[in-house]
């Protein structure tokens, strides 16, 4: 097996028991077994709320699927997802678990609005990995403050404190959920029994491990010796005070470094017997153990305590205390050491008694050596490797190697979805459909999105639960050059058209497609632009998710004539003459050719509206009944905040004052740019209103003169957008053209926000003017806002409630996706559900 041993690298870096486990285990496996183990570490700072969250997120995004198994021992590394993940638990972030200060609350005493969604996520039921993107998005939103004073934000995110405690508990619960972990191990019985460390009902195997120190041996009794990180939980102050009370002439040497060093040195000042050696290298440490008479080790509730086994392996008895945790699992009072109460007097007495009997010390040392001999790397590695091997599927016989592996029943369809822009984070209409529909399909399928990333970047992968991931690959430099030339010729950003024309230059995309399609049952083209690549490399079933009638959309964006039915079309990837005056018209023809090929060849075609279904059928000759209507949807919050008082209070808190607030949410997309211009004009005519523009459409208006009542906020994290959707009084949709349907209408309705829209803006949706939203022609928007202003905050409650109810019934992404599941008979053919045929 190829095994990844994953571990956090502390910032700043220190060497402790964890590091000794990782080095020792990986060294033993690579030297003494037929398996290969790589120790993989990521810097994982944990000095405040933000660094802890970032460290967890960094691990959650790492992909190590090229290993047969993964073994993790600590937070935050165990948030990495792997199908064969074994946990060998050392400890959690203890200051937020069993050593969380008793005087601190476990719930915030005051929770500002900007943190409420995060808190609900952290306190909610379940441990689905799909929660991670939203949790981390809410953390980023909180960091922006959203009107919180710096002092209030610092208090809310204090470490330790209830919010960071809840965050870490939820992330650990997701990481260690039974469905995510193959086997559970603990380094000691103490760790296995700690409250909250493992899921309830988990079967935990206690498996101690030795130290990685080599060459441990006995020797003379020259001094009392201990080695430890010099911090408070090790209670070296208790040892120093106890030693000062002894009558012993023998010196005490303390090895190690840490934040308590100066305080401990001050405490020992004046006692010439006590000496601090600083950190020792391995050879010096082995030598000091060999020359010790005994080793005191008195931490509070230690996880296991490698110092115990290092001392015993050197033939030295260990003096410990009754509340030392895992140490007491090895030390037997009077046999291989002493166990006394954790107070100065008891320790001082035990030290004097032990040092007064050298022969007795030697006898206990020999017993201690026998105890240490029972804890070996052979036993530790065998337990973990056996668990990892059990998680692997049996290898097929040689005769069966060429046959497809049998799949578990009930069979899950494997979908590979192609698109030219990423789905995560879902911050535009297109990315929302891509992400949330895929997330819904993952209810019954294994879904992989393969998308095109930014130039110059690295390939990336995100996992959103056990059945949904996105793989994003960068374009080649040659593709970027050709895309830039095409953009100059067409005077519009056209990455999508470039992918259609120059897919042969997308080397990384083609390579990734080859690997991923070998594991797919169906390829789904989201948009048309990568369909020629798919048809060139794939001969199985293809579905088409038509976000728009793409030829019509590109004609609008490029200011080219619309094509009619029966138009003669070129090959989709036939080169353009970029110097020709009709380059835009040529580009639209190539898009139409790709769309025609896809509509005619795909087993399933999904249109977002009845209008689009009719148009696709008309243009490309596919029977309308063979095109399914799969509407755009929305993520519906549990609480739409329909009440006027709550909306008004949130608006004040976000800094918008008491004036009515109109919101326009849109991406940088041709018809949206025209609508954004209309919003700016509207703001100048409606000074009694405030206007917020959100999304990449803000790039269109930045740098232009704007009225004082306008704010272009750019792309907001999900939490920030949700807050605005809940605070605003009206959602604007002044669209004059477009294809497909407008997701913003569903977002407005789902969040209980009244929509003011043109008829074009509401096209293709079941929302009815006068029943679910206010409809107006663009030139009448000023009058409509003047009528609605006196009704703010939160005007027209009946319309808003009806719209919300309709969206819940019809446009929730999970509901939409569930309706698309093929019948069992059709699952392997890529055909539609029987009802849709």
pLDDT in tens, 550-590: 999 999 999 899 888 888 888 888 888 888 889 999 999 99
Burial track 146-164 (b if 16+ CB lie within 10 A, e otherwise) = bebeeeebeebbebbbbbb
Tell me the pLDDT band of 465, cut-offs 50, 70 and 90.
Answer: low
Query: What percentage of residues in the chain have a pLDDT greater than 90?
Result: 65
Last residue of a domain, one of 206, 231, 249: 206
Reported as type and span, the H/E element at residue 415 is strand 413-419
- The whole-number average pLDDT for the span 56-65 is 94
Residues 655 and 728 in one domain: yes
Residues 341 and 423 in one domain: no
Residue 427 included in any domain: yes
Residue 831 included in any domain: no
Residues 654 and 583 in one domain: no
User: What pLDDT is stored for residue 408 in this prediction?
Assistant: 38
Residues 574 and 662 in one domain: no
> Is the confidence at residue 24, as pLDDT, over 70?
yes
Q: Over the stretch 422-454, which tens digit does the pLDDT of each residue have? A: 998 787 778 889 999 999 999 899 999 999 998
How many other CB atoms are found less than 10 A from the CB of residue 34?
7
Residues 200 and 286 in one domain: no
Residues 618 and 702 in one domain: no
CA distances from 700 to 490, 670, 712, 747 (A): 18, 10, 10, 22
519 close to 447: Cβ distance less than 8 angstroms: no
Taking CB atoms within 8 Å and a gap of at least 24, the contacts of 604-608 are: 604/543, 604/544, 604/628, 604/830, 604/831, 604/832, 605/543, 605/544, 605/546, 606/543, 606/544, 606/545, 606/546, 606/630, 606/820, 607/546, 608/433, 608/546, 608/547, 608/548, 608/632, 608/740, 608/741, 608/764
Last residue of a domain, one of 368, 388, 403: 368
Report angle CA 139, 142, 143 to the nearest 5 degrees: 90
User: What pLDDT is stored for residue 740 in this prediction?
Assistant: 66
Residue 179 included in any domain: yes
From 655, 658, 675, select the one nearest 666 (Cα to Cα): 675
State how many domains the chain has. Answer: 4
Residues 140 and 170 in one domain: yes
Residue 586 included in any domain: yes
Residue 561 included in any domain: yes
Residues 135 and 252 in one domain: no
Residue 825 included in any domain: no
- The whole-number average pLDDT for the span 782-807 is 93
Residues ≥6 apart with Cβ < 8 Å to 546: 527, 528, 595, 599, 605, 606, 607, 608, 612, 616, 740
Last residue of a domain, one of 181, 206, 231: 206
Residues 654 and 601 in one domain: no
Tokens for 265, please give them.
């040195």
Residue 402 included in any domain: no
Residues 611 and 747 in one domain: no
Tell me the pLDDT band of 829, cut-offs 50, 70 and 90.
Answer: low
Torsion 196-199-201-205 (CA) sign: negative
522 close to 414: Cβ distance less than 8 angstroms: yes
In degrees and rounded to multiples of 5, residue 158 shows phi and psi of -60, 145
Tell me the pLDDT band of 25, cut-offs 50, 70 and 90.
Answer: very high
User: What pLDDT is stored for residue 214 in this prediction?
Assistant: 86
- The whole-number average pLDDT for the span 617-627 is 95
Q: Over the stretch 101-131, which tens digit does the pLDDT of each residue have? A: 999 999 998 888 889 999 999 988 777 888 9
**Count, residues in the chain:** 837
Residue 822 included in any domain: no
User: What pLDDT is stored for residue 395 in this prediction?
Assistant: 35
CATH number at residue 303: 3.40.50.2000
583 close to 577: Cβ distance less than 8 angstroms: yes
Residues 581 and 485 in one domain: yes
User: What pLDDT is stored for residue 414 in this prediction?
Assistant: 95
Q: Over the stretch 473-501, which tens digit does the pLDDT of each residue have? A: 999 999 999 999 999 999 999 999 999 99
> Is the confidence at residue 396, as pLDDT, over 50?
no
User: What pLDDT is stored for residue 267 in this prediction?
Assistant: 96
Residues 199 and 236 in one domain: no
Q: What integer best gives the mean pLDDT of the chain?
A: 89
Provide the residue range defining the domain that includes 420.
413-629
């Amino acid at each position: 097996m190829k095994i990844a041993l994953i571990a956090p690298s502390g910032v700043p870096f220190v060497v402790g028991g964890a590091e000794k486990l990782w080095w020792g285990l990986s060294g033993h496996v690579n030297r003494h077994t037929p398996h290969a183990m790589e120790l993989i570490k990521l810097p994982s700072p944990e000095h405040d709320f933000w660094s802890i969250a970032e460290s967890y997120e960094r691990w959650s995004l790492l992909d190590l699927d090229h290993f047969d198994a993964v073994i993790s021992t600590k937070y935050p590394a165990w948030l990495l997802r792997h199908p064969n993940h074994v946990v060998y638990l050392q400890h959690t972030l203890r200051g937020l678990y069993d050593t969380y200060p008793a005087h601190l609350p476990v719930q915030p005493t005051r929770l500002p609005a900007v943190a409420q969604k995060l808190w609900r996520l952290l306190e909610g039921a379940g441990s689905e990995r799909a929660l991670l993107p939203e949790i981390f998005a809410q953390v980023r939103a909180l960091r922006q403050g959203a009107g919180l004073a710096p002092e209030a934000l610092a208090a809310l995110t204090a470490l330790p404190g209830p919010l960071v405690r809840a965050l870490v508990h939820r992330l650990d619960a997701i990481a260690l959920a039974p469905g995510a972990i193959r086997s559970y191990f603990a380094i000691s019985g103490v760790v296995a029994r700690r409250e909250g460390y493992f899921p309830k009902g988990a079967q935990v195997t206690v498996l101690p491990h030795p130290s990685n120190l080599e060459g441990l041996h006995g020797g003379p009794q020259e001094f009392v010796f201990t080695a430890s990180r010099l911090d408070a939980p090790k209670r070296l102050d208790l040892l120093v005070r106890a030693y000062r009370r002894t009558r012993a002439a023998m010196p005490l040497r303390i090895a190690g470094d840490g934040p308590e060093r100066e305080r401990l040195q001050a405490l020992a000042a004046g006692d010439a017997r006590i000496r601090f050696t600083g950190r020792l290298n391995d050879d010096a440490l082995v030598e000091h153990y060999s020359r010790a008479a005994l080793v005191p080790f008195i931490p509070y509730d230690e996880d296991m305590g490698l110092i115990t086994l290092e001392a015993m392996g050197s033939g030295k008895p260990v003096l410990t205390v009754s509340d030392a945790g895992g140490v007491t699992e090895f030390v037997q009072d009077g046999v291989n050491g002493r166990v006394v109460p954790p107070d100065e007097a008891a320790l001082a007495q035990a030290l004097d008694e032990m040092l007064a009997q050298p022969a007795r010390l030697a006898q206990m040392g020999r017993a201690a050596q026998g105890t240490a001999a029972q804890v070996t790397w052979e036993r530790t590695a065998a337990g973990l490797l056996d668990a990892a091997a059990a998680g692997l599927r049996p290898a097929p016989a040689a005769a069966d190697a060429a046959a497809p592996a049998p799949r578990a029943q009930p069979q899950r369809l494997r979908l590979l979805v192609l698109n030219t822009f990423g789905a995560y984070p879902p911050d535009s209409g297109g990315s929302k459909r891509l992400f949330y529909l895929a997330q819904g399909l993952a209810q019954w399928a294994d879904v992989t999105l393969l998308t095109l990333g930014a130039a110059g970047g690295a390939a990336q992968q995100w996992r959103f639960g056990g059945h949904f991931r996105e793989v994003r690959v960068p374009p080649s430099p040659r593709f970027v050059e050709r895309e830039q030339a095409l953009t100059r010729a067409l005077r519009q950003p056209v990455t999508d058209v470039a992918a259609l024309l120059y897919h042969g230059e997308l080397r990384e995309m083609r390579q990734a497609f080859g690997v991923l399609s070998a594991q797919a049952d169906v390829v789904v083209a989201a948009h048309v632009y990568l369909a020629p690549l798919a048809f060139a490399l794939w001969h199985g079933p293809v579905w088409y998710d038509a976000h728009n009638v793409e030829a019509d959309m590109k004609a609008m964006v490029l200011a080219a004539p619309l094509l009619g039915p029966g138009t003669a079309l070129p090959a989709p990837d036939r080169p353009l003459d970029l110097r020709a005056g009709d380059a835009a018209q040529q580009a639209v023809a190539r898009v139409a050719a790709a769309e025609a090929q896809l509509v005619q060849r795909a087993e399933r075609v999904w249109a977002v509206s009845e209008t689009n279904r009719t148009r696709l059928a008309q243009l490309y000759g596919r029977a309308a009944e063979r095109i399914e209507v799969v509407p755009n949807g929305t993520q519906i919050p549990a609480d739409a905040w329909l009440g006027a008082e709550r909306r008004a209070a949130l608006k004040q808190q976000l800094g918008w004052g008491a004036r009515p607030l109109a919101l326009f949410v849109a991406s940088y997309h041709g018809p949206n740019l025209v609508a954004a211009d209309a919003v700016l004009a509207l703001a100048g005519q409606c000074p009694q209103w405030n206007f917020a523009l959100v999304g990449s459409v803000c790039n269109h208006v930045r740098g232009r003169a704007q009225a004082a009542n306008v704010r272009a906020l750019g792309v907001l994290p999900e939490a920030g957008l949700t807050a605005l959707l809940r605070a605003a009084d009206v959602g604007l949709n002044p669209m004059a053209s477009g294809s497909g349907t407008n997701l913003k209408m569903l977002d407005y309705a789902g969040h209980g926000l009244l929509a003011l829209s043109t008829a074009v803006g509401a096209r293709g949706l079941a929302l009815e003017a006068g029943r679910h939203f206010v409809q107006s022609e663009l030139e009448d928007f000023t009058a409509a806002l003047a009528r609605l202003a006196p009704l703010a905050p939160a005007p027209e409650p009946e319309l808003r409630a009806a719209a919300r109810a309709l969206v819940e019934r019809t446009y929730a992404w999970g509901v939409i996706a569930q309706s698309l599941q093929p019948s069992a008979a059709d699952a392997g053919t890529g055909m539609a559900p029987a009802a849709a045929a």
